Amino acid sequence: MLKKISVILAIFTLTLVLTFSAQAASKRSSWVENEIYQYNHLFASQLPQELATKMQKMTVSPFAFYRGTNHIFYRDTLTLPSSGFVNSFTSAIWLEGDMHMQNLGGIRDSNGNNVFDTTDFDEGYLGPYVWDLRRMAVSILLAAKQNGLNSSDSQDIVRNFLDAYLNKMSDFKGTNDELSYRLESSNTSGIVKDLIQTTAGKSRSNFLKKYTQINTSGNRVFQTTPKLQPVSSSTSNAITTAMSSYITSISSSKRYSNSYYTLKDIRLKLGSGTGSLGRYRYYLLIEGSSSASDDDQILEMKQETSSAVAIAQATPLRSIAQATPLGSIAHPGLHYGNHHGARVTTATKAMLSNTDPLIGYTTVSGISFMLHEKSPYQEDFDYTLLTTKSKFLDAMAYAGKIVAKNHAISDHDYNASIVPYSVDKEVTDVVSSNKSAFKDEIVNFAVNYTTQVEYDYASFVDAYNRKVPLY
C-alpha cells in the first residue's frame, strides 16, 4: 500500500512539473498593446501627463514593466494552469494582490516599532494564496537577472523564499504567534536590517521640511513644486466636505477629536509609484494632536479602483463560498460595501499588525479614495542593492516570512465572517505532503512567466518607440 502511494505521489509530482514546464511563453505584440491601452485609457481623461510618466517608467526594465502591468498578470492567470496545492480552504484568503519586491519596505507601526513589512495594499483582494507567491517569485527572477545573477542562482533564491514562507506558516500553525510576529533590527541581518535602521533614524521634522514650509502668517503649508501642485477651489471644497465621511470611516476606538483632522492645505501629488500612475493622489496637511505646527501630519489620499486580482476570479467568490467547508465566505464586496477605498482599508487592517490609526476612506465626486498617513518613517526597499546571491538569499528569506505573516493574521484572527478558519494550518496541511513538488510548481511557473514578461516588455518598448497609443 505504501509503495502504491509513493508511486502515485511520484506521478503527481512529475505531472505538475511537466504541466508548468509546458507553458511556453509567446510573442503577442498586438495583444499586449491592446491590453495596456484598454486598462489605462480609463484614466486618460483625468491625468494624461501621469500616464505618460507611467509609460516612460515602464520602459526602464522588465521589472519596471512588470510593476506597471499587474492587470496582465491576472489576465493571464485566467488561462494559466491552476495550482495543484490549492483546495477549498486556501482558494479565497486575503492577498496583498501585487506582491513584488518594491511593495516591501521599512516602516514604523502604530506602537512605535521599526519593522520590515508590506507597504502597499491597493490590490488587496480574496484569492488563492499561491497568487501572491507566484507574483513575488517572478519579481525575484526579474530583479535577480537585472542584478547580474545567473538562472540557477535566481531559482535557488525563489526556493529559499518559498522555504521561508512554508516554514513560518508551519511555525504559526496551532499557535497565535503570528499576531505578535514582526521583523525588527534585533532579528534580521544584511540589507533588511540596514533598511530597518534607516527607518529608525528618520524624523517627523525632516519629513515636514521636505514637503512643507512656514508661510508669512506663521502657518505651515505645502511647498509648490513640479510634483506638488495646487488644486482648484472646487476640488479643495469637495475634499474638505469629504473629510467628515473619512473621519466616520475610522473605528471609534482609534478616532481622534475632530480638531485633529482639521485640513490646513492640499496638493495634487504627481509622479509617485508606477502601476497607480494616472489615478488621483493628493497630499493633505492636517493639524495633528495640537495647534503647534511641528506635529502636523500628512495624509496620502489615493484614488482606488477595482483590484486587478478580480480579473482572475473566473468563478464568482459567492460560488467559492458555497463550496467552502466551515461556513460561507461572503463575496468581499459585502465587507467593504463595494467601495474600493474601504476594500484597501480592510485589506491593510487584515494583513498588518498595529495598523496606522489614520487609515480610512471616503468618496469625492463619485470617486473612491483611501487615506492613510504618509509616514515620515517609511523607507522603500531597494532591490538593486542585492548584488550577490548571499544578499539576495538573506533578504528574500525575510520576504517569505512577511508574506506568511500577511496570510496568517488575515484569517479568522482578523475577521471570521470573511475567512472563518486558520490559513496557516490549511496552507501547511495542503503542502506538507510534498513540499518539493510545491516548490517545483512555483519555480517552473516563475521561470516560464518571466520569459513571457520579457517578451511582453520587448513588445511594449517597440510600441512605445513607434508611438503607438498606449492610453
Kindly report, residue by residue over 28-54, the tens digit of the pLDDT: 999 999 999 999 999 999 999 999 999
- pLDDT for 466 equals 98
Q: Which of 463, 448, 424 lies closest to 168, judged by CA?
A: 424
pLDDT tens, per residue, the chain with 471 residues: 434 433 333 434 444 444 444 468 999 999 999 999 999 999 999 999 999 999 999 999 999 999 999 999 999 999 999 999 999 999 999 999 999 999 999 999 999 999 999 999 999 999 999 999 999 999 999 999 999 999 999 999 999 999 999 999 999 999 999 999 999 999 999 999 999 999 999 999 999 999 999 999 999 999 999 999 999 999 999 999 999 999 999 999 999 999 999 999 999 999 999 999 999 999 999 999 999 989 999 999 999 999 999 999 855 444 333 334 333 444 555 567 789 999 999 999 999 999 999 999 999 999 999 999 999 999 999 999 999 999 999 999 999 999 999 999 999 999 999 999 999 999 999 999 999 999 999 999 999 999 999 999 999 999 999 999 999
Q: Amino acid identity of 119? A: T
d(CA 231, CA 269): 10
Give the cell for residue 38: 484598454
d(CA 134, CA 456): 18
Asked if 456 and 33 count as a contact pair (C-beta separation under 8 A), the reply is no
- pLDDT for 15 equals 45
Question: Directed axis angle between helix 423-432 and helix 435-465, to 10°?
Answer: 100
Asked if 156 and 350 count as a contact pair (C-beta separation under 8 A), the reply is no
- pLDDT for 372 equals 98
- pLDDT for 17 equals 44
3-state secondary structure the chain: CHHHHHHHHHHHHHHHHHHHHCCCCCCCHHHHHHHHHHHHHCCCCCCHHHHHHHHHHHCCCHHHHHHHCHHHHHHHHCCCCCCCCCCCCCCCEEECCCCCHHHEEEEECCCCCEEEEECCCCCCEEECCHHHHHHHHHHHHHHHHHCCCCHHHHHHHHHHHHHHHHHHHHHHCCCCHHHCCCECHHHCCHHHHHHHHHHHCCCHHHHHHHHEEECCCCCEEECCECCEECCCHHHHHHHHHHHHHHHHHCCCCCCCCHHHHCEEEEEEECCCCCCCECECEEEEEECCCCCCHHHCEEEEEEECCCCHHHHHCCCCHHHHHHHCCCCCCCCCHHHHCCCHHHHHHHHHHHHCCCCCCCCEEEEECCEEEEEEECCCCCEECCHHHCCCHHHHHHHHHHHHHHHHHHHHHCCCCCCCCCCCCCHHHHHHHHHHCCHHHHHHHHHHHHHHHHHHHHHHHHHHHHHHHCCCCCC
Asked if 352 and 182 count as a contact pair (C-beta separation under 8 A), the reply is no
d(CA 461, CA 447): 21
Asked if 445 and 134 count as a contact pair (C-beta separation under 8 A), the reply is yes
